[in-house]
Amino acid sequence: MKKRKLGNLEVSAIGMGCMGMSHATGTPMDMDEAARVIREAVDVGYTFFDTAKNYGYKDDPHHNEKILGKALSGIRHQVVIASKCGVDFDYAVNPEVPPLLYDSSREGIRKSIEGSLKRLNTDYIDLYFQARIDPKVEPEEVAETMAELIREGKILHWGISEVNEEYLRRANAVCPVTAVENGYNIIRRDHEPLIPFLEEHGIGWVAYTPMFKGLLTGTFHKGAQFTRDDWRSRLVNDQNLDRYHDLIEYLAVLGEEKNATPGQLSLAWILHKKPYLVPIPGMRSRARLEENAKAADIVLTPEEVARIDQLAVSAQE
């Protein structure tokens, strides 16, 4: 697969978002099966794997990191691992849709990194994200802690997820940020005002939910049903299927012309926007791994990108 740069960190042009194997997309995968899929991803050409300490479920809150630790044993040097700290799920309040508990204190981050290193079966994490802004902790304190971890060799780079420009500016002034991880896709574009700052400081962008929780794949129809703990229901619903019908239809027609699926075109659209954007779709099978990898080779014309943009904007007016 083609490569891209997040700051000076080289990764596959499309990364693998691993959360869905353990959390938010229905029944968690069996650990052995999930590890096999991740090994297959390496065979296909993926080198960038995104996880977090809290990607799990009530009975195994750290399920996802354990999967990667098992899957990447023996081939750790071939891949780039991103994990996260700063949040946990409060399963005591709601085991199906738990609220977040925030802790980006120095002590909280240090406790998190030690647990993640053990579960991932590694001495270092390539890219360590603060998962969400903690209103109780100033960005300078978080950045200072990350700088300590870099000096100690426990992490190589750091970043912030769902960050705004003010917070990013303050944190970056203390310890340079390699990448942000913010939601981004054809429909969700509220973080685009960050782009001038990212470009000024050479910061990459890891784009999660690149297919709008599957809505942009064109595979869902009105009446789709999800379990309560499946986060796709928040976006894949009858209202949005109606609202974005013309956009989804255009992706299907364009896909026929290019021998591509709407999901592949959604990834290609992101790749065409900026050279430092790296989408991380969730995948649970080799077929999906191979399909999404091919998106890196799709060429969209400026006119096609503009038409996609126009349909997305029109649907939101």
User: Looking at the annotation, which residues are catalytic?
Assistant: 55
Distance CA 100, CA 138 (A): 18
DSSP label at 69?
A: H
140 alpha-carbon distance from chain centroid? 24
Q: Which residues of 231-243 are buried (b: 16+ CB within 10 A; e: fewer)?
A: bbeebbbeebbee
Longest pairwise C-alpha distance within the chain: 54
CA dihedral 312, 236, 185, 54 (to 10 degrees): 160
Distance CA 263, CA 272 (A): 14
205, two tokens: 């962008």
- Say if CB 150 and CB 182 are below 8 A apart: no
Q: Which residues pair with 4 in a beta bridge?
A: 11
Distance CA 103, CA 138 (A): 12
- State phi, psi for 173 to the nearest 5 degrees: -70, -25
Bridge-based pairing state of the strands 155-161 and 125-130: parallel
The region that residue 223 occupies, defined by phi over 0 for left and psi between -120 and 50 for alpha, beta otherwise, is: left
For 36-86, list the strands marked E by DSSP.
Answer: 48-50, 80-85
Q: Tell me, what amino acid is at 183?
A: G
